[in-house]
Every structure is written in C-alpha cells, then in structure tokens.
Amino acid sequence: MRQKLIITLTTVRGSRQYTLSQLAGYLVGLFLLLSALSFFVSNLLLVQTRDHLHGLEQEKITLEEQFTEALGTQQLYLENLAELGSRYSEVFYERSQLEEEKIRLDADLSEIESILGVLTDLPAETPQTDRSALLRAASVQRLFLLHSIPNGLPIKGTRIGSGFGTRVHPITRARTPHNGLDFPAARGTPVYATADGIVEKAGFDQGSGFGNLIILQHNFGFKTYYAHLQNIEVTSSQYVHKGQLIGYSGNTGRSTGPHLHYEVRHLYTPLDPKPFVDWGLSNFESLFTSIEDVEWESLSAMYPLNQGGPQ
C-alpha cells in the first residue's frame, strides 16, 4: 500500500481531509523546516543588528564626548594664547618703560641737578666725576631726611575733615586747640608710618580721648600721633620704617565718627601737619620755609650739601 499524507482541516462548517502523496508530504515538511529555520535565522540577525546599532549608538555618544572635550581643549588653548599675548604686551610695555628709564637715568647731570634743585651753583668747569659724587651724596642726604622727618599721607585719600588750629569740639562744644589733622575713613582703613622711627606707645590711651593710639619717635626730635585706631599692628619699642602698616583706622575714644587723627610734634610742640603731608622730593625746600618753629639752621650745618634745603 502506497504511503500517503493525510491533512485534516477543521472549521466551523466541519472537517475536511486532504490526501497528499509521499513526495508532496516531503515538500511540505521541507517547507515548514525552511520556514522555521528562516524564522530563527531572522531573529538571530535581528538580535545581532540590534546589538550592532546599540554599539554604534555608544560610539556616537563617545565621539560626541570626545568632540566636546576637543572643543573645550581648543577653547583652553585659545585662552592660553590670549593670556600669552597679554603677557607679551605687558613685558613689551615694561621693556619700553625700562628703556625710557635708562634714557632718563643717562640724562645729563646738570638736568638731574636742576630737577633736584641742588648743586646748581657749582662752577661749569667742575669735573663730571666730582659733580656725580656730590650729586649722589646730596641725593642720599635728601632721601635720608625724607625717611627721618615725617612726610606724606598716613592714610589713603587726601580729604581732610578738620584742620590744625582752634575749633569748636564736636562733643564738648567748647573752643579747644585741635593739634592735628582728621582724615575721615571707614573702619579698617590701613594706616602707615610717615617716617622711620621707633614705637613709643601702642595701645589704648586713658584720659586723652585718643582711644587706641600709636606714638612714633623719629629723628631730630619729631614725633607722630595716630589716634582713634580700630586695630594696632605694632608693639612698643618696635622699629618701623616709612610706609610700614602700623594699624587700621577706627572710632575709639572720644570720636563722632570713624577717622584718623594725625599729629606731628617737635620736642612736644604740636606742629601743623599739612606742610609735612605735602612735603616731598619735588618741593624739598618748602618745609624749611613754612615751618618756623624748628631751628633748621643747625640741621643745615649738619648737611651742607643740601643746597636749597635747610638754611
């Protein structure tokens, strides 16, 4: 009996049977096998494709991060390049300044003497080496005096609240001498020594109304007072140099507001500090004519090369 393949299909209308020969059965089986194999191969390829796409997506993210990092590195290089350009400009400017300074220092001695106002009456035939030595000595002496005698501002800013002389005291309302200058300033403003010296007092001064007070002793009998300080940065017996930070302004003692009270005294005699504040190398002679309470003649005898200075 020939082998046959019978296929039964059942529907709502009943069942039907189909008879296939053995060859047709093989073909149907082969078709089903190939369909199943194709299904599994397609799924495998789909999974591999999905994994490949996921890998490509990760590579895309990595490339984007590297691109962003490269942009940041490029920006950093540009910033460094700009900074180097700025530094080059600064160095070039400083070099130009130094060249100008060298030219100025190489100027004729007579011009320098004219600027300083010294040695102008020397004979024209005086050898240049002698003029140079005398000019150097005179300059050193002037700088020594400018470091020894109070000069310049003790605090940043040039506005003066109360000047030297008699005034109505803002607290007692009585007319009393005001022996210094008042510089209005916010609490904590730096205060500087106006000449080299030694600290005579650094602390709270009872009874004077000065509050926290610094007194500096300088050469030639001069003293400076710095009152109403908030903080003191020096101690008694300490040596200080001109321009050194010694304290910070405040409102201690009898004071109506934050400020620095500054005095210049000579042998305990209060002097008007304004000429001392204005005094410097450019107007060296001015102090010795504006302050008459100091015997400048004896100082002139000590420093004869300061022509135009103390007489």
Highest mean pLDDT among 53-67, 83-97, 295-309: 53-67
Closest CA to 229 of 245, 243, 249: 249
pLDDT in tens, 163-176: 777 766 666 666 77
199-to-69, 205, 235, 245, 276 alpha-carbon distances in Å: 60, 14, 7, 13, 20
| Domain shared by 52 and 145, yes or no | no
Within 8 A by CB and 6+ apart from 263, the residues are 179, 180, 181, 223, 224, 225, 227, 270, 273
Is 154 within the bounds of a domain?
no
Query: pTM of the entire structure?
Result: 0.60
Q: What is the DSSP letter of 124?
A: T
Residue 203 confidence (pLDDT) = 97
Which position has the higher pLDDT, 21 or 105?
A: 21
Residue 148 confidence (pLDDT) = 95
Contact 288, 271 (CB under 8 A): no
| Domain shared by 87 and 112, yes or no | no
| Domain shared by 144 and 289, yes or no | yes
Q: Say how far residue 6 (Cα) sits from the centre of its chain.
A: 101
> How much of the chain exceeds pLDDT 90, in percent?
34
Burial of 270 (0-12, 13-18, 19+ CB in 10 A): middle
> How much of the chain exceeds pLDDT 70, in percent?
73
Segments forming the whole domain that contains residue 130? 107-149+279-311
Q: Which amino acid is at 286?
A: S
Number of domains in the chain: 3
Residue 311 confidence (pLDDT) = 45
pLDDT in tens, 184-197: 999 999 999 999 99
Closest CA to 226 of 162, 155, 274: 155
| Domain shared by 245 and 285, yes or no | no
| Domain shared by 184 and 272, yes or no | yes
**Coil vs helix vs strand at 48:** helix
CA distance linking residue 78 with residue 151, whole number of Å: 49
Q: What is the mean pLDDT of residues 130-140?
A: 74
Domain CATH code at residue 180: 2.70.70.10
pLDDT in tens, 33-79: 887 787 777 777 877 887 778 888 888 888 878 777 777 777 776 77
